[in-house]
Amino acid sequence: MAVGVTFPRGFVAAGVTAGIKASGRPDVAIIAATENIPAAAVFTRSATAAPPVVVSRAHISCGTTRAIVISSGNANAATGEPGRRDAERMTVLVAAGLSCEAEQVLVASTGVIGVPLPMEIVEQGIERALAGLHDGGGADAAVAITTTDAAPKQAEREIATSIGIIRVGGIAKGAGMIRPDLGTMIAVVTTDAPLDSQQTEQALRAAVDRTFNCITVDGCTSTSDTVALLASGACAGVLTAEDVILVGSAIEAVCEDLALQIVRDGEGAHRIAHWTVTGAKDDSEARTIAYAVAEAQLVRCALNGGDPNWGRIVAALGVTGCSVEAERIGITLGGHALCRDGMAVETVDMAAVNEAAARDTVEIAIELGVGEGVASIWASDLSKLYVELNAEYTT
């Protein structure tokens, strides 16, 4: 069945077990087009970006791409020049199997940092994945890129345009070390729309800014963050300006679906919060404030326990370094006002508030009253399981 990255026409994929993971779970994936196609990608801005990011940054500058190869279980990060050679080697092997240039192949790796890739195993996995490429391989690829994910993440959308039905699909991995910074975690989105390179780049950056760049699990940015968009053009024709907007909206919808799956899967997450900030000095400060509050450890603990402790939000607001005036702060939870003009609201239906705080998704709004800035993000809580998973990650 064609799902995820193979839902759009013009793509094949595979996910196989090479042996990188001690668990024996699938760990090498390839997503490929039938020819070189327009593509775009965004990456982590971390100063310690992994070698696969460095290689893919160089390769995406070609403007067209044939495939992306992803290994999981080992991030190939903090591995120096040998790591770069290994990342390049992965692209060379895939290119040879697809009869294209290595520069037409992107590469990503995810997992433990600081450990050299077991290249003999990786090479065998790539060979196996190349042999297994097919148009129903999207689900297998989604599984193969996971690490601590509780489940694979995939999404699909289709829209009617003037040239026919256009499809968009995607897969993503991520549950921990999630904090947006241009790109976040690893995701591959595909479409059979006939976008050119510029349209692909514009659509990806717009979608990422409003989706993947609006989530946080733990405030930690990975060394390996990569989000790529590939456009096969298998739905042939000339898009109208309205069609381009519709395709962009579908790409954003797939990205949002994947982004929310990541937040809900945030290692051990019990519930998530949808944070809305209004009345900030400007949009930039609104986003800074939203992240600062959502990532505050005491706030995350309260979210985990379903505790509507708005005092912790006020405390977090006071140290954001942004324009905050205590006497203007307003806070609502699930539509119930808890704080107004920086003080407790006198009459509150606490039974309704407690019910709202216990939902799977908690709606929290902060009004600052100092400007016109707005922001909206989604964030995970902090659970005991999150601590346990990350205390034992390499042991």
Q: List, by residue number, the catalytic residues.
A: 184
Residue 236 phi, psi dihedral angles, 5° rounding: -75, 150
For the chain, the distance separating the N- and C-terminal CA atoms, rounded to the nearest angstrom, is 37
The Cα 106–Cα 65 span in angstroms is 7
Q: Collect all residues with Cβ–Cβ distance below 8 Å to 332 and sequence separation of at least 6.
A: 338, 364, 365, 367
* Helix, strand, coil shares, percent, the chain, to 5: 35, 30, 35
Residue 144 phi, psi dihedral angles, 5° rounding: -70, -20
Q: Positive or negative CA dihedral for 30, 33, 35, 39?
A: negative
The Cα 87–Cα 119 span in angstroms is 10
Amino acid identity of residue 342, one-letter, is: G
The Cα 233–Cα 343 span in angstroms is 56
Q: Phi-psi region for residue 325, left (φ > 0), alpha (ψ -120 to 50) or beta? A: beta
Closest CA to 313 of 271, 377, 266, 364: 364
The Cα 310–Cα 316 span in angstroms is 10
Q: Phi-psi region for residue 9, left (φ > 0), alpha (ψ -120 to 50) or beta? A: beta
Q: Phi-psi region for residue 133, left (φ > 0), alpha (ψ -120 to 50) or beta? A: beta
Q: Collect all residues with Cβ–Cβ distance below 8 Å to 286 and sequence separation of at least 6.
A: 277, 278, 280, 373, 374, 375
The Cα 213–Cα 256 span in angstroms is 10
Measured CA to CA in angstroms, residue 197 lies from 119, 184, 207, 246 at distances of 33, 21, 15, 17
Residue 40 phi, psi dihedral angles, 5° rounding: -145, 160
